[in-house]
Amino acid sequence: MIRENNKVKDIQIAYIGGGSRNWAWTFMKDLALEAELSGTIRLYDIDKKAAKANEIIGNKISQKENAVGKWEYKALASIEETLTGADFVIISVLPGDFKEMASDVHTPEKYGIYQSVGDTVGPGGIIRAMRTIPMFFEIAENIKKYSPDAWVINYTNPMTICVKALYAAFPEIKAYGCCHEVFGTQTILKKALEEMRGLKDVERHEIRTNALGINHFTWIDRATYKDIDLLPIYKEFVDKHYEEGYQVDEEHWLNSVFKSSEKVKFDLFRRHGLIAAAGDRHLAEFVPSNWYLKDPETVAKWQYKLTPVSFRIENREALKEKSRKYVDGMLEIELENSGEEGIAQIKALVGLNELVTNVNLPNKGQMAGVPFDAVVETNALFQAGTVRPIIAGGLPREIESITLRHVEVQEGIIEAALAKDMDKAFKAFSADVQVSTLNPDDARALFDEMVENTKHYLSYWNI
């Protein structure tokens, strides 16, 4: 990297999963709109054609007249060439294919277990973790070998387990996990402030929150806008919209598998007095399934949707076509800021600013009541060359007990992977809050069937 007149040039970013047809484009556009950074993006993906397409798309973005950040994109064939000399490593990979994801999400339905996402907790999240952990062990070992001083930013789910796996394989790694779920909750707080107090032109980033928990089960116990305490205002907002729900934007939950009317979030606030800082689809999977996920009728009552893998397959085909049109020049690439904070984090780490935001890191005392080194999600201060977790405090006992159950399962699956022990993996699987509703024989049958369905990606486990 070269520092010159409040700009940092020649930054080397290695992008593992560089054939991504969603997040990679978002990242490219955000980089193009940042004038103070420039350099090279090295794209590495097992799908070499997708990475090559993104090389073309990335360079087209960089050449646009309104692209103030200039980057060169290169699709590379080897992980060694991709990582050597990298200042930053981005990880955004799909652990398995949609065939495996279909098993993660839909096989448990035969046993009465419904999952709204199936990528973090629950039987789907755990089996996905079994595929993902060996990949992240290997990624960490390669980072240790080729770019041990790089900052590593993970976007892959299951987020907590991915970050834990990186540190398990390379304890000195400088890695953290990024998730935008808290941003969505800050947006709801902004809407509440505008509606209940009539304030105008409030920006999401002006909403200050104290976040604590684990990824996709993160909570806010303090929130302010300037000198205004937002929790009483949020309570008024929840009471007003509890019955009918609330649409954050124009897209109604009935028309989107990713939207909700925030009723799960509102109900959890009434139960516990803290703001649940993730989307309803994720939150529902962390609590007992008879709360919000008993059956499709219960899901509809709480005004969100199960996300079928068939939708993801259709969406992938649409994105493939979009990629082809971008490459061929049949579709114009529009530059717009995503509102994500990955670029702001990079700017802080290279010394151009300071930033406080929520990230996933091993617990070094920033969160009370959770085991040391378990990965937690709290705020951290980003400065030149450092990410310092901010003391967040602890959760109320009733939320802490649910959180700790998931922590134990997540720690258990990592321990099982380190030992390559399928019996330990099953013990972690059967302790999950959703799986534990089954009798032992059914839990074992479900585990065995899901493992069989994904065994192509489980060679690491010696099965």
Q: Sketch the domain layout of the chain as residue ranges.
A: 2-97+119-180, 181-301
Question: CATH number of the domain at 2-97+119-180, out of 3.40.50.150, 3.90.1820.10, 3.40.50.300, 3.90.550.10?
Answer: 3.90.1820.10
Q: What is the Cα–Cα distance from 258 to 339, expressed in whole angstroms?
A: 18
Question: Could you read off the pLDDT of 404-419 as tens digits, one per residue?
Answer: 999 999 999 999 999 9
The values of phi and psi at residue 116, to 5°, are -85, -25
Q: What is the Cα–Cα distance from 189 to 68, expressed in whole angstroms?
A: 32
Distances (CA, A) of 418 to 357, 387, 411, 414: 31, 27, 11, 6
Q: Which residues are catalytic?
A: 180
Q: What is the Cα–Cα distance from 130 to 376, expressed in whole angstroms?
A: 20
How far the first Cα of the chain sits from its last, in Å, is 45
From first to last of its 463 residues, the chain has per-residue pLDDT tens of: 888 888 999 999 999 999 998 889 999 999 999 999 999 999 999 999 999 999 999 999 999 999 999 999 999 999 999 999 999 999 999 999 999 999 999 999 999 999 999 999 999 999 999 999 999 999 999 999 999 999 999 999 999 999 999 999 999 999 999 999 999 999 999 999 999 999 999 999 999 999 999 999 999 999 999 999 999 999 999 999 999 999 998 889 999 999 999 999 999 999 999 999 999 999 999 999 999 999 999 999 999 999 999 999 999 999 999 999 999 999 999 999 998 999 999 999 999 999 999 999 999 999 999 999 999 999 999 999 999 999 999 999 999 999 999 999 999 999 999 999 999 999 999 999 999 999 999 999 999 999 999 999 999 999 8
pTM above 0.85? yes
Question: Could you read off the pLDDT of 146-164 as tens digits, one per residue?
Answer: 999 999 999 999 999 999 9
pLDDT of residue 186: 96
pLDDT of residue 4: 86
Instruction: Name the E strands within 312-457.
Output: 355-362, 375-383, 386-389
The values of phi and psi at residue 359, to 5°, are -145, 165
